[in-house]
Structure 1
């Protein structure tokens, strides 16, 4: 029988590094304890653990609100705990949430929502929660602050899916107090006034209240980079707490390199991750900046604005 449920996939990232640092026996014990804790939090919020998946948990909830409460508690508590752990042992959580009809057969669960939640967990970056439109719609009075990531291609689906990232940080999220329909967050104390983008002879300027904007290959992106390695919506630039944040949304990744007084820094590779843009430097879309053929955007943050322009790298 089909039952309308909310599905949660919560996965630990970086477990391979932990096994290398701790050895198989200790690492297995650590991962097992963490997945048991994840399952316990889900159960405390009325969820049912369908199965453990090595370094992850698949859980089922009767409604979206309790599922969201569980995953936000998971991220908040785990993030505080990670701050006390040595860097090589830190395993962040990435979580996917989807709602819809689920079929239960001999203790296992099947359905589009199951597949979607699993895919979103894979796509979400470390420390992130991604949720479907259906989940957000069901939250109603218990809506949480979220950011619309737009339409994203999900492997195995013929149509693109609308996806949201949950802002679970305690200073940003509060149950029962936020409206269901959210407007872009305006930050009056922002140090940024506008973002100017240039590609060849095309220049665009966006005020901070118009953010976020997207870099990508299709016309839906506000800044178009026409290269086959660039995803349709490759990356997003948004204003957050007065800082300009670049988030990778792509298939092949984004690379950032900063230029300071001491010369260029090492490249920062982003795979469904984010970083703050500061000073000046370069952004590579779809290929490392060490690849001279990479579509590369030079950026410069100056005073009250951030400027980006197309830059040809010739070696």
Structure 2
């Protein structure tokens, strides 16, 4: 069955998932992916749909720009409050999509995926219609920038949404890229005059053995 519709498309991606898998193993990574999907699904309402999971990412659609802003407002705090959970990054776009056998296709989807891939940890990058809805919902909208996206002929104007959670300032384990809550860290090591936190003794030991491998200069 095929149908066309205008929808808001959002990719939510676990930043640093490859590093986490290497540090903690395939089983823990798979468990985390399932947990991520369940947490996301729990926040959907009648305007939203989980289309599919793609490894360390989920693809969602919402009826319109306002609905996707409301969804992000619900789901992002769940991730931020979860223990032993990575920082997420988000890309969202609004436009026409082709719906076929429950999946979604088209340039709108491709651009949303590319935007998510360009986002840094903790960033929510969206196109103009979603930024407009965010302003109407009293969500912070940072100044726009332009991205050149792979296989997209023209630059895309994107806006960085601020849901007030200060995700850019949280402590992150340099080995597995897990976000570190003050209540569950396994200590710190100092290297090159910087203190690095760790989620586990295993990550601390890996860092101690070869700090330069995990430090971005």
TM-score norm. by structure 2 comes to: 0.69
User: Contact between 1:7 and 1:58, CA under 8 Å: does it hold in 2?
Assistant: yes
What is residue 93 of structure 2 aligned with on the other side?
Answer: 98
After superposition, residues 47-126 of structure 1 pair within 5 angstroms as 47-81=48-82, 84-85=83-84, 90-126=85-121
**Are residues 67 and 265 of structure 1, via their aligned partners in 2, closer, same or farther at CA, if it must alter by over 3 Å?**
same
Distance in 2 between the 1:28 and 1:139 partners?
A: 33
User: Contact between 1:75 and 1:127, CA under 8 Å: does it hold in 2?
Assistant: no
Q: What's the CA shift for 1:61?
A: 0.5
Aligned residues: 169
What is residue 11 of structure 1 aligned with on the other side?
Answer: 13
Higher normalized contact order (CA 8 Å, seq sep 6+, divided by chain length): 2
Q: Give the 3-state SS of the residue equivalent to 2:143 in structure 1.
A: strand
Distance in 1 between the 2:104 and 2:91 partners?
A: 16
Q: For the aligned residues, what is the CA RMSD?
A: 2.3
Which is greater in Rg?
1
After superposition, residues 55-204 of structure 1 pair within 5 angstroms as 55-81=56-82, 84-85=83-84, 90-139=85-134, 141-169=136-164
Q: What's the CA shift for 1:66?
A: 1.6
Distance in 1 between the 2:165 and 2:13 partners?
A: 21
**Are residues 139 and 145 of structure 1, via their aligned partners in 2, closer, same or farther at CA, if it must alter by over 3 Å?**
closer
Q: Give the 3-state SS of the residue equivalent to 1:155 in structure 2.
A: coil
Q: Any idea what the Cα deviations from partners look like across 1:190-238, whole Å, max 9, x if unmatched? A: xxxxxxxxxxxxxxxxxxxxxxxxxxxxxxxxxxxxxxxxxxxxxxxxx
TM-score norm. by structure 1 comes to: 0.49
**Structure 1 or 2: more strand by fraction:** 1
User: Contact between 2:92 and 2:112, CA under 8 Å: does it hold in 1?
Assistant: yes
Give unmatched runs, 5+ long, in structure 1: 172-263, 267-287, 290-315
